[in-house]
Structure 1
Amino acid sequence: MKAVLITDVFQSILMFLSVFSVIGAALVQHGSVGEIWRIASEGNRTNIWNFNPDPTERHSWFTLILGGGITYLSLYGVNQTQIQRYLTVRDLRRAQKALWWNWPILFCLGLSTAFSGLAIYSRYHDCDPIRAGYINNTDQDASWRN
């Protein structure tokens, strides 16, 4: 179990480094966080105040809370790997402490991955393979590369 935990720490470090390298590359290209945000806003990628209760809406506060809640309940409540980790801790108090430490780290990872998505969008927002003539329609496969 100790090897699994060490591997998890190493994997987490690699995830943070890769996400921050994507953000860093976008910052070098665009010069500021504000410029990345401006490009994302112009492309309607920053609609964070969507409170539409319609369940067919792709991303709204309601769909994210419901879907995220179910996801995290399955990950932290009944996931066999996570339960094994709980059982390796000496007592309930330490398991709870580990979960409380996990929350801000996971929050930072979620925020940074979301912003890295905006950073990637800022790089490729004007990349249109139809306008460039690489493909003829939106559902064409990748056989044009051969």
Structure 2
Amino acid sequence: MPKTPHLREARILAGLSQMELAERSGVSRATIADAEAGERSLQPRTVRKLAAALGLEVGELLGRSSRREKLADGPFTAVYMRDGDWWIGFVEELPGPNAQERTLDECREALREALEDILLANRELTRTEFEGRDVVREPIGS
């Protein structure tokens, strides 16, 4: 029975609450909550239902490939500068994500992770705040 390490992340990226995903997939909210917490492995047919409801391939949901990489591929500009032996990076368009590492490559990776974490957290906060309300969610093109 497979584990679904990316279920919570995929649900948040889709802008869905656990209840909304349950309704779309026909899988109980309790099962979704347990799977997201890592407390339950899912039957293959359940994974297929969840993947379909999220618009994913089963492999993506199982962590064989991740949509997380696409999360920070928006119209953002990373700015890096050397400060002594360190590289400092920040995102020009957003307050918050920043990084400081010894190498430029490490700084790039750390900044991307910081940006992804902030975007995921903001999406979760917004989803929670407006849960049960009539909202429209859509990507913004560049």
Same fold (TM over 0.5): no
Does 1 or 2 have the higher relative contact order (CA < 8 Å, sep 6+)?
1
Higher strand share: 2
Q: What band does the TM-score fall into relative to the shorter chain?
A: 0.3 to 0.5
Q: Which has the larger radius of gyration?
A: 1
Higher helix share: 1
